[in-house]
């Protein structure tokens, strides 16, 4: 008789090790849910792809024209277009992650009530979707980078750290909001709008140099700003990283730990309140 994996369903909370093992055993669901969401979004292929390609192009054009031409913020050693593209990539990954994840439980209530699996699988599937949807913008960045003949060096090996950090930050905030929204539905509606305002305290399309000098370093307490600086530094767009970025990195790690543990604790109540 072949050995079969038997999943035991219990009201008792899993230990951290057991919880992580359950996630690993159900890892196929991450890919399955990601494929399902992509198929739904791009059911009307041309319309979906057109928006995916057109939306970032419009944003790049507006930011470059308004901030680079009208406000004359084009004071970098490399074309302002690259500064905007790098900022939009970082901001899109962060904002799309927390937006999609924060509402992911409520939008998947049918699956949650009918299947037994670690519910964190649903937020994890959103990571794949967000990365796929930002491939075009990153390709555009690389093409623009090559067009201006900007040389790369060893710093490029640090880029994965910036990407992982942006994913970690967006995932953590989304996970925290998803856990809180189980009992407080208004959280998933109000919080993303408030967080979106943080784009103004993140140097996405403006240089930190326009901020009063006494406050410049403090902007890197914002984890997105910290990882965005690492991103730009890895491609040689800026010469140095503020030491305050270390604070932002530590905050993002603590945020992930808190959100993960809170979400794990809420697993037992998700089906009841969903």
In the predicted model, what is the mean pLDDT of residues 57-80? 70
| Per-residue pLDDT, 182 | 77
Least confident of 31-40, 171-180, 194-203, 216-225: 194-203
- Are 59 and 88 in contact by the 8 Å Cβ rule? The answer is yes
pLDDT of residue 120: 93
Unique residue bearing structure tokens 């640090």 = 158
- Of 39-43, 44-48, 126-130, 261-265, give the lowest mean pLDDT range: 44-48
Q: What is the pLDDT of residues 208-254, one digit of tens each?
A: 888 888 888 889 999 999 999 999 999 988 888 999 999 999 999 99
| Percent of the chain predicted with pLDDT > 70 | 83
pLDDT at 50: 61
More confident residue, 102 or 66: 102
Higher pLDDT, 10 or 206: 206
Let me know if 166 is exposed, middle or buried by CB neighbors in 10 A (0-12, 13-18, 19+).
buried
Question: Cβ–Cβ contacts within 10 Å for residue 162, how many?
Answer: 23
Q: Say what the pLDDT of residue 75 is.
A: 57
Mean pLDDT of the chain: 83
pLDDT confidence of residue 72: 62
Residue 138's pLDDT is what? 92
Please report the pLDDT score of residue 87 as a whole number: 92
Across the range 172-193, mean pLDDT stands at: 77
| pLDDT-derived band at 185, boundaries 50, 70, 90 | low
User: CB-based contacts of 103: which residues, under 8 Å, 6+ apart?
Assistant: 178, 181, 188
- pTM, two decimal places: 0.86
Decide if pLDDT at 71 tops 80. Answer: no
The pLDDT value given to residue 232: 93
Question: Residue 153 CB: number of other CB atoms within 10 A?
Answer: 9
8 A C-beta contact, residue 257 and residue 16: no
Distance of CA 143 to the CA centre of its chain: 23
Q: Is the pLDDT of residue 47 over 80?
A: no
pLDDT of residue 180: 83
CB atoms within 10 A of CB 245: 23
Can you tell me the mean pLDDT for 163-190?
84
Q: Are 122 and 230 in contact (CB under 8 A)?
A: no
- Which pair of tokens denotes residue 270? 């998700």
For the stretch 96-131, pLDDT in tens is 999 899 888 888 888 888 888 899 999 999 999 999
Task: Taking residues 180-185, report their average pLDDT.
Answer: 75
pLDDT at 16 over 90: no
3-state secondary structure the chain: CCCCCCCCCCCCCCCHHHHHHHHHHCCHHHHHHHHHHHHHHCCCHHHHHHHHHHHHHHHHHHHHHHHHHHCCCCCCCCCHHHHHHHHHHHHHHHHHHHHHHHCHHHHCHHHHHHCCCCCCHHHHHHHHHHHHHCHHHHHHHHHHHHHCCCCCCHHHHHHHHHHHHHHHHHHHHHHHHHHHHCCCHHHHHHHHHHHHHHHHHCCCCCCHHHCCHHHHHHHHHCHHHHHHHHHHHHCCCCCCCCCCHHHHHHHHHHHHHHHHHHHHHHHHHHHHHC
Q: Is the pLDDT of residue 194 over 90?
A: no
pLDDT in tens, 18-29: 999 999 999 899
């Amino acid at each position: 008789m072949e050995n079969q994996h038997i999943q035991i369903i219990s009201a008792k909370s899993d230990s951290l090790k057991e919880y992580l093992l359950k996630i690993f055993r159900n890892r196929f669901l991450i890919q399955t849910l990601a494929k399902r969401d992509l198929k739904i979004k791009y059911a009307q292929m041309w319309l979906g792809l057109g928006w995916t390609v057109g939306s970032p192009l419009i944003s790049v054009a507006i930011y470059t024209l308004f901030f680079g031409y009208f406000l004359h913020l084009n004071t970098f050693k490399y074309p302002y277009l690259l500064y905007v593209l790098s900022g939009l990539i970082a901001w899109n990954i962060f904002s799309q992650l927390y937006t999609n994840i924060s509402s992911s439980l409520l939008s998947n209530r049918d699956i949650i009530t009918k299947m037994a699996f670690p519910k964190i699988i649903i937020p994890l599937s959103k990571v794949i979707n967000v990365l796929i949807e930002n491939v075009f913008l990153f390709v555009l960045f690389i093409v623009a980078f090559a067009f201006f003949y900007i040389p790369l060096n060893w710093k490029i090996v640090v880029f994965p750290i910036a990407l992982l950090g942006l994913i970690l930050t967006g995932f953590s905030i989304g996970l925290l909001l998803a856990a809180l929204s189980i009992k407080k539905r208004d959280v998933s509606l109000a919080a993303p709008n408030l967080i979106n305002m943080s784009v103004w305290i993140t140097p996405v399309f403006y240089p930190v140099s326009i901020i009063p000098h006494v406050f410049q370093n403090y902007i890197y307490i914002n984890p997105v700003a910290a990882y965005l600086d690492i991103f730009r530094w890895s491609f040689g767009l800026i010469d140095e990283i503020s030491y305050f970025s270390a604070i932002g990195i530590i905050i993002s790690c603590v945020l992930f730990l808190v959100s993960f543990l809170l979400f794990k604790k809420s697993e037992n109540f998700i089906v009841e309140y969903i």
